[in-house]
Structure 1
């Protein structure tokens, strides 16, 4: 069995959290080919992405509270098993309707990885250290989406789009073996919660009235919407409209994820030195500037790959800083219901992103304008969310966070 605090355990949690990005990013280069193969239009294929996010959002409301009662490990095993089955269903889908069902089930199972990975980090490492660990997890996890479009493009070229889902099934099967044979349970017995609906709803109601939780969640959800707008529209903009090959698209996507990778490393390195709130302010400013630049270029008729990929690299650099810090900020005050907090956080994040993705798909005009405007608005809303909701609470939050960290450190020493 792995030690809970070992670097290998962090890698396992990062690999589980990567289920979500892999299931979205690996098939992006294949979306135009899928539309042709299944005899449907771009709007229906883009719906597989939005429906995935909708299923992902709904599943999080279930798996987090259930894991607060029965532990993280059994819920993870159940979720990844469903992900494996659904991936095979997608690979064998004869029509867009079956593919949509498979994607929804894939999302419902895959949600367990990111939700319970975040909750497990909070279980093990406490409120302040969780931000640093999540940052390094994010940088490790960034390797998956950086390589995923390249792998997807290669699979599409040699084996067809169905092979993408076969590989996802193999990945989830490997994760099942690791969890069953080597992963310990991170949630202590004394921290277990009831699964009675009254208790779950009370936790959700408490979180929704907690300004700190809502503020950090809103900052993250608006920033993530900018990323998801790119995921939803970029293959049609760059491949169909601008003429990039699937391989060139994959290379461009890797550059963008490189921005996220560097941003998440920056977040981990400077989290203690600069503080969570200062990092989020800097990061949201970057997202706002990058998104606005892309929108202005598109409205000015600069229809070139550099006018999309360049600003998105900066946007993802900012989001790489913002994402782990806002996650840790939302979970920090809620150790007694970390699973429920992670669930609600993810639900709000994914629901917002799914709505943005659906709008981008429906309003796509054949150019980069719709996608670029959506990304620009997302960056500006992330900055406004921090400035208007999170920033006024900084002094009170610092005092309570130090007290919470001291209690967690005492508990860790006593348990050791």
Structure 2
């Protein structure tokens, strides 16, 4: 992998001057990859912990929706904090708090405690994700940042491939608490990488970042920018479909279609393989067509996956393949939408990258929280609620890509 080196800044330990593009992509992959590890490792255990903690599906779903709500709200705090005090301190604090929250979840005696622990996990996770997105703008111009983000998304894809397989295996072997132990070890690994490798990347901190007046003015300015609305709208719409799949697939695959936790992990892994393939296709599209052109092409895959899933479900075809194959198309396209969307959302705000990243993450999480709660209420013993929800998300994603991104995505 070859990208131009970021510009030298004031000396630090580790030093930004020696922080290579490869190290940057690995850092992004680890920080952003913690998100699928948080969900995908946990999902195979969700039906089992529902039974063992004596709760119902809608309550168990709160362990997912509370996590995503806390994840979204906390980004509004972490973004300005990272603009004020720098990226590295927020990364280190976030990963420590995250690991402690994971250990709390592992020891949960009841579902209420687990829901609170998952909320704390989401709030801490937000620090790593919002800073990772802001670092892209710290280090690179928009076009180059999109390419680096695409490489990072490939690393994220590898983490997403292994997470459900490992989660299904350890759940089958040791119960629903075992995935938490695996995630805690992953958190410690990320902490060591940040401490030893990742420098401060912000060119200059913003002393006014936490002042309410300037902060609100910054948010208004960002939210009024059509480029931001286009790219953040794209990431929110496509993630809504993915989150529906993540939240609903354990119950559909295991309870409705009869898969074991290990087999479910394998099914989820296949979607991650499709996502990884999508990151490679994204880089080819970027070279030939740029970010806007890449999204236009990926939108056809998104729409095909969502509508096929809905058509098969409405036709009464309730098989593993009727859910899995359309989802592969959706996951394939999701890689392009996220790579381009996350880089695009912060591309116009070099001095407010933390705030822009936080707002984009909040909008994404708020949408996911809403659709996740709706799914928890509507889930039945069929694939229809899941299929129809993903179909609606696919229409919205393609619509945003073909209208807002096409018109305003260039800046």
Aligned twin of 2:147: 132
On the 8 A contact 1:4/1:186 being kept in 2, the answer is no
Q: Deviations over 1:140-184 (max 9, x none)?
A: 111111111111111112211111112211211222222223321
- Partner of residue 26 from structure 2, selected from 11, 28, 43: 11
Q: Given that residues 131 and 268 in structure 1 are in contact (C-alpha distance below 8 angstroms), is that contact kept between their aligned partners in structure 2?
A: no
Give the secondary-structure state (helix, strand or coil) at the position aligned to 1:18.
helix
Whether the 8 Å CA contact 2:248–2:386 is kept in 1: the answer is yes
Q: Is 1:325 equivalent to 2:331 in the alignment? A: no
Residue pair 1:20, 1:113 contacting (<8 A) in 2 also: no
C-alpha distance in 1, partners of 2:360/2:408? 19
Q: 2:376 aligns with which of 354, 361, 368?
A: 361
- The 2-side partners of 1:22 and 1:311 are apart by 23
Which of 62, 70, 77 lines up with 1:62 in the alignment? 77
Instruction: Look up the match of 2:192.
Output: 177
How far, CA to CA, are the matches of 1:176 and 1:323 in structure 2?
25
Matched residue count: 396
Name the structure 2 match of 1:372.
Answer: 387
Distance 1:170 1:247 in 2: 21
Partner Cα separation in structure 2 for residue 133 and residue 269 of structure 1? 13
- Between the aligned partners of 2:248 and 2:161, the Cα distance in structure 1 is 18
Residue 228 of structure 2 corresponds to 213
CA contact 1:193–1:337 (8 Å) conserved in 2: no
For structure 1, list consecutive stretches of 5 or more residues without a partner in the other structure: 401-416
Spell out, residue by residue over 1:161-218, the C-alpha distance to the aligned partner (whole angstroms, 9 max, x if none): 1111122112112222222233211111266653211111111111111111011111
Structure 1 residue aligned with 2:123: 108
State the distance in 2 between where 1:388 and 1:282 align: 13
Match for residue 307 of structure 2 among 279, 292, 295: 292
Q: What are the equivalent positions in structure 2 for 1:227-266 lying under 5 Å apart?
A: 227-266=242-281
Mapping of 1:377-392 within 5 angstroms?
377-392=392-407
The residue aligned with 2:58 is 43
* Structure 2: gaps spanning 5 or more residues: 1-13
1:87 aligns with 2:102: yes
Deviation at 1:262, TM superposition (A): 0.7
Q: Residue deviations 1:322-357, cap 9 Å, x none?
A: 111111221111111001100000100111011111
Deviations 1:41-85 (A, max 9, x none): 111111111111000001110111110111101011111111111
Correspondence for 2:204: 189
Match of 2:138 among 123, 126, 142: 123
- TM-score relative to the length of structure 1: 0.92
2:320 counterpart of 1:309: no
How much does 1:387 deviate? 2.7
Q: Alpha carbons of 1:157 and 1:190: their partners in 2 closer, same or farther (altered >3 Å)? A: closer
1:269 aligns with 2:284: yes
C-alpha distance in structure 2 between counterparts of 1:229 and 1:192, whole Å: 39
User: Are 1:342 and 2:357 matched, yes or no?
Assistant: yes
Instruction: Give the corresponding residue for 1:152.
Output: 167
Moved over 3 A (4+): 190-193
* Candidates 56, 71, 74, aligned match of 2:86: 71
Q: Is the 8 A contact 2:314 2:384 kept in 1?
A: yes
2:86/2:202 contact within 8 Å kept: yes
The structure whose residues are more often helix, as a share, is: 1
What's the TM-score once normalised by structure 2's chain length? 0.94
Tell me the residue number matched to 1:414: none
Once residues 146 and 155 of structure 1 are traced to their aligned partners in structure 2, the CA distance between those partners, rounded to angstroms, is 15
Q: 2:35 aligns with which of 20, 26, 44?
A: 20
